[in-house]
Chains A and B, each alone.
Chain A
Amino acid sequence: MQKVLIVDDSISVARQLEKIINESGDFTSAGHARNGAEAIKMNHLENPDIILMDMNMPGMDGLTALRSLMALDKEVKVVMVTSLGGVGDKFTEAIKMGARNVISKPFDAENILRIIRAL
């Protein structure tokens, strides 16, 4: 079963995503980081297969964390899940940095699972 790390400052979003992941049958949650710095630490400790990460977080934001994660491991599979997905510049920046996809909030469970199954 593939492990998915969730990175979002919102506990309600993390709860939703963990539910979607754990009920999928083919993924399991590798835990919840509340900002970019925690994501880097948990990526090292948990070695997840996929990271679902918000962009707009206090402390280290999602794009800064994405840059650091990609610098450490070019193969890391990061999907941004963000309310800013529809902002063209943010989307392009994330894809240029190496994000595998950018999912806009509000999201639906089927779309998230379809995208991470395709990675």
Chain B
Amino acid sequence: MAVRFFGQFLVERGVVTSEKLLSAIELQEQRNLKLGEMAVNMGFITHDDIERSHNAQYSNDMKLGDLLVQMELLTPAQLSEVIEKQKENRLYIGEALVQVNALSAEELELQLAAFREDQAQYVSDRIELPAGIKNRAVWEIAADLTYKMLTRIIGLNFRPEKSIVVTSFTAGNIVAGIDFNGDVSARYILSASKKVKESIAKAILREENVESEPAEVIEDSVMEFVNVVCGNIAAKASQSGVVLDILPPVIIRQKEEQPITVPDGRIGVSFPIHVADGEKIEIILLIRQ
């Protein structure tokens, strides 16, 4: 029921042991050379060049390949050749598991089919974002996975509205937020009206009735839902090569009459969601630009 990568799927199902998976990962690490190492292997640059470029990366927020071109250590054509060679030589985890005798080729095909079926529910749908947002693919994943988890974990029927840029937002229903750091940075906030919070708590606690639960438990359930959604966003983003770390969720409390202003250096994007019976949810992303 969660976003997984193939190796984890196999260990969780007990198809391969964690020891065999580690052997396969080690084989991958030996065979899948990093860009700099591949460029050295192809005779384009030296290890000293890699060290110089790594030092330059401390003061220059660029990918190694682009930096090597900027420093005139590689030509753009050579960079393309190196990337192409990396793709050609890439050893995927399934192939590595066959090579370390953890799986037969036939079993690999069967497991890949089962994995695709398991993950089909997380194939991204197109989400429309306002113009001018950087790293759009990550924020599309964030909204899309929230919608999918609201359907699959909470069982809500809802209608998402078009996302809009906001400079402030009201805080009455806001409960939980999580900070994303890494290749991109943002705060993810989930705002939900009372009945929606209770629906989330019922699903997280697996209880039919939560009326007698203290507010602390309801809030904790919503925080946990946000934690699960954001962990799965990080997992999905990592499949596209985007590294995201999440911090533990926090409760946000603010008086209803005091709107929260989007901080300087961030752009606020609101994703309003209408639930039956007039209940509401809103996701707000405060994206560092």
Q: Is the CB of B205 within 8 A of A86?
A: no
B250 smallest CB distance to A (angstroms) = 9
A interface, how many residues as a size bin? 35 or more
* CB pair A11 B217 closer than 8 Å: yes
- Please tell me if the beta carbons of A95 and B22 are within 8 angstroms of each other in the complex: yes
Q: List the A side residues contacting B238 at CB < 8 Å.
A: 86-89
CB pair A56 B224 closer than 8 Å: no
Interface hits, B180-221 → A, CB 8 Å:
201, 204-206, 216-217, 220-221
Q: Which of the segments B11-19, B43-51, B67-75 contacts the partner chain? A: B11-19
Q: Report if A13 contacts B (CB, 8 A).
A: yes
A19 at the interface (CB under 8 A from B): yes
Q: Bound complex: CA of A91 vs CA of B247, how far in Å?
A: 17
Question: Chain A: which residue is nearest B14 at the CB level?
Answer: A118
- Asked whether, in the complex, the Cβ of A9 is within 8 Å of the Cβ of B12, the reply is no
Interface size on B, residues (CB 8 A): 41
Residue A86 contacts which of B3, B18, B25 (CB distance < 8 angstroms)? B3
Residue of A57, A104, A115 with highest tally of chain B CB at under 10 A:
A104
Task: Give min CB distance, B152 to chain A, whole Å.
Answer: 8
Instruction: Report whether A95 and B18 are in contact in the complex, using a CB–CB cutoff of 8 Å.
Output: yes
Contact between chains at B8 and A102 (CB < 8 Å): yes
Residues A84 and B231 in contact in the complex (CB < 8 Å), given A56-B246, A106-B1 = yes
Q: Once bound together, how far apart are the Cα atoms of A82 and B2, in whole Å?
A: 10
Q: Quick check: A10 and B231 within 8 Å, CB to CB?
A: no
Interface residues of A in 55-90 (CB under 8 A from B): 56-58, 82-89
B267 on the interface (CB 8 Å rule)?
Answer: no
The distance from the CB of B228 to the nearest CB of chain A, in whole angstroms, is 5
Contact residue among A86, A92, A96, A101 (Cβ-Cβ distance under 8 Å from B2): A86
Work out how many contacts link A and B, with CB atoms closer than 8 A: 116
Least CB separation from B235: chain A residue: A86
- Decide if A12 touches B221 in the complex (CB within 8 Å): yes
- CB of B231 within 8 A of CB of A86, answer yes
| A96–B7 alpha-carbon span in the complex (Å) | 13
Whether the Cβ atoms of B227 and A83 lie closer than 8 Å is yes
B234 sits at the interface (CB 8 A): yes
Please state if B5 and A88 are interface contacts (CB–CB under 8 Å). Answer: yes
Shortest C-beta distance, A66 to chain B (Å), equals 13
Main SS class of interface, B: helix
In the complex, are the beta carbons of A12 and B224 less than 8 A apart?
A: yes
| Among A16, A83, A89, A106, residue most surrounded by chain B Cβ atoms (within 10 Å) | A83
B1 & A108 in contact (Cβ 8 Å cutoff): yes
| A20 vs chain B, min Cβ distance (A) | 9
Most chain A CB inside 10 Å of its own CB: which residue of B1, B5, B12: B12
Q: Of the candidates A12, A99, A103, which one forms a contact with B204 in the assembled complex, judged by CB atoms under 8 Å apart?
A: A12
Flag A96-113 by CB within 8 Å of B: 1 or 0 each.
Answer: 100111111111100100
- A15 in the interface (beta carbon within 8 A): yes
Distance between Cα atoms of A108 and B243 in the complex (Å): 27
B234 contacts A106, C-beta separation under 8 Å = no
For the complex with contacts A105-B231, A106-B228, A114-B14, 17 further pairs of A-B residues with Cβ separation under 8 Å are A11-B220, A12-B220, A16-B206, A56-B231, A56-B246, A56-B247, A83-B227, A84-B246, A86-B231, A86-B234, A86-B235, A87-B235, A88-B5, A88-B7, A102-B11, A115-B12, A115-B14
A and B contact pairs by CB, cutoff 8 A, 29 listed: A10-B220, A11-B217, A11-B220, A12-B220, A16-B205, A56-B248, A82-B231, A83-B231, A83-B232, A84-B231, A85-B8, A86-B2, A86-B4, A86-B236, A87-B235, A91-B5, A91-B7, A95-B18, A95-B22, A100-B18, A101-B11, A101-B12, A102-B11, A102-B12, A104-B8, A104-B231, A106-B149, A107-B1, A115-B12
